[in-house]
């Protein structure tokens, strides 16, 4: 993917080399425990504690104020910086594309914030770790990404290539588009109804059209970003979509497939919906919810 002359998105929060994280927050808690004990003795103190907890859950770490000194760096910084520059440029292209497209469907595009982190961090959706992979949090409208995931994508999932990485980010941006359109809220309500009835299978299956539509929206981004593509890029994206399909992942990890536990769709479905978006460039072609009453 050619992005040499493209701008970098400014909607990025880089936590990779910051002192802090869950361990530092725990240390901070011990440091201010005497103050907390005093606050617990009054209603006003309880209110202050509640505000602090709320801020932490929304993605702000109050204990970061206790950290002193410049951000930490290490030998991984040089490697990751080139990758970070690339992913920031990809994010900028998604901003350009969706700022033009979404108003045609009656919604103004407000870009998400991309949070780059290492190992673990906090999010508006709770604790985030590299093990869960990239994800979008509707609560704070941020995308969380540990760049180390791309090493796993290439080595563990056998899906290398810069456009494979771009596809992953575009998929998460697709979830942000769904959030702006109110789709995620509706699906979450239906999932909660299913879970209250004890129907976990239905709750899982309700997630599948969400993920497949995000693939289709990633394809739409690719349609409008074609001027940046190089030979083999689409194949990289399709390979990545195939390698992270539910059926493929389950076959490789446990040797058999359990369709009732699917949450993202099969490899074939993921590839087909990406291609549908890429070929059409039309959001009306991304209706993966034909069997879901929204």
DSSP-assigned letters across all residues of the chain: ---TTPPPPS-EEE-TT-S-HHHHHHHHHHHTHHHHHHHTTSHHHHHHHHHHHHHHHTT--GGGGG--SSPP--THHHHHHHHHHHHHHHHHHHHHHHHHHGGGGT----PPEEEEESSEEEETTEEEEGGG-SEEETTTTEEEEETHHHHHHHHTS---SHHHHHHHHHHHHHHHHHHHTTHHHHHHHHHHHHHHTT-HHHHHHHHHHHHHHHHHHHHHHHHHTGGG--TTHHHHHHHHHHHTSHHHHHHHHHSS--GGG-SS--HHHHHHHHHHHHHH--GGG----TTS--
Domain that holds residue 187: 88-110+149-285
Number of structural domains found in the chain: 2
Q: Quick one: average pLDDT of 31-48?
A: 67
pLDDT 10s digits, 165-182: 999 999 999 999 999 999
44 shares its domain with 163 = no
Position 36 scores a pLDDT of 67
Position 66 scores a pLDDT of 45
281 falls within a domain: yes
pTM for the structure as a whole: 0.80
161 shares its domain with 239 = yes
Band of the pLDDT at 17, cuts 50, 70, 90?
confident
Question: Mean pLDDT in the chain?
Answer: 86
161 shares its domain with 44 = no
268 shares its domain with 159 = yes
127 falls within a domain: no
175 shares its domain with 255 = yes
Q: Is it the case that residue 73 has pLDDT exceeding 50?
A: no
Give the rounded percent of residues in the chain with a pLDDT score beyond 70: 80
Position 32 scores a pLDDT of 59
Position 132 scores a pLDDT of 86
């Amino acid at each position: 993917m050619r992005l040499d002359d493209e701008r970098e998105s400014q909607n990025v929060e880089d936590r990779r080399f910051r002192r802090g994280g869950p361990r530092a927050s725990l240390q901070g808690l011990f440091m201010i425990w005497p103050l907390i004990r005093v606050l617990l003795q009054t209603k006003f103190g309880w209110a202050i504690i509640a505000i602090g907890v709320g801020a932490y859950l929304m993605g702000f770490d109050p204990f970061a104020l206790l950290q002193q000194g410049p951000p930490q760096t290490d030998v991984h910084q040089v490697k990751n910086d080139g990758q970070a520059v690339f992913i920031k440029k990809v994010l900028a292209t998604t901003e350009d594309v969706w700022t033009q497209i979404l108003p045609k469907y009656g919604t103004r595009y407000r870009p998400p914030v991309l949070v780059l982190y290492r190992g673990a961090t906090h999010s508006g959706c709770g604790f985030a770790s590299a093990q869960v992979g990239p994800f979008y949090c509707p609560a704070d409208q941020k995308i969380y990404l540990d760049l180390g995931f791309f090493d796993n994508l290439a080595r563990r999932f056998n899906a290398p290539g810069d456009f494979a990485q771009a596809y992953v980010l575009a998929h998460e941006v697709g979830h942000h588009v769904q959030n702006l359109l109110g789709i995620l809220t509706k699906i979450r309500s239906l999932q909660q109804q299913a879970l209250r009835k004890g129907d976990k299978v239905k709750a899982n299956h309700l997630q599948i059209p969400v993920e497949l539509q995000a693939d289709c929206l990633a394809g739409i981004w690719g349609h409008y970003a074609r001027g940046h593509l190089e030979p083999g890029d689409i194949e990289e994206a399709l390979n990545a979509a195939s390698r992270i399909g539910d059926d493929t992942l389950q076959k490789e990890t446990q040797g058999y497939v359990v369709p009732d536990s699917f949450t993202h769709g099969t490899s074939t479905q993921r590839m087909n919906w990406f291609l549908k978006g890429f070929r059409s460039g039309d959001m009306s072609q991304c209706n993966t919810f034909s069997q879901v009453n929204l």
